[in-house]
Amino acid sequence: MNEISFRIRTFVFPEDYPAVLSLWETSGPGLRVGRSDSPQEIQKKLKRDPDLFLVAETSGKIIGTVLGGFDGRRGMVYHLGVLPEHRRSGIGRALLDEVEDRLRQKGCLKCYLMVIKANKATQFYEDCGWSLLDLQLFTKELD
């Protein structure tokens, strides 16, 4: 594991958006960018629970992100990503731990983490205490 000094903080819009979008777009096939990642949609998300959108940075550069959500009953984790050159340095685990702590503080008892099958971080999530569910996920565009 490579040692790196970093800090985790809450995402700031619009200042952080270009760097975060770039990180998402270059993270590889495990993280997809879609319509819900547009500036307008991110602003909607920030009105609901801005404290669950986190970034990791070092020397003023964003090197990791995680996006959490809470509907009052269940939590969700999306877009956990770390720049390839900073992976395996504890950043992803720190981001995941922090968003989990923040969800607990909101009273969240159960949380889901969505990843696509192409995501190669399955073992990482299991090492962090997450379990793979045998389920099907449906989606529908609502416009």
pLDDT one-digit tens code per residue, 20-62:
999 999 988 888 899 999 999 999 999 999 999 999 999 999 9
Task: Return the percentage of the chain with pLDDT > 70, whole number.
Answer: 99
b/e burial code for range 13-29 (CB count within 10 A of at least 16 → b): eeebbebbbebbeebee
What are 85's two structure tokens?
Answer: 């050159």
Question: How confident is the prediction for the chain on average, in pLDDT?
Answer: 93
Per domain, the residue ranges of the chain are: 7-127
pLDDT of 86 > 80? The answer is yes
Query: What architecture is domain 7-127?
Result: 3-Layer(aba) Sandwich (3.40)
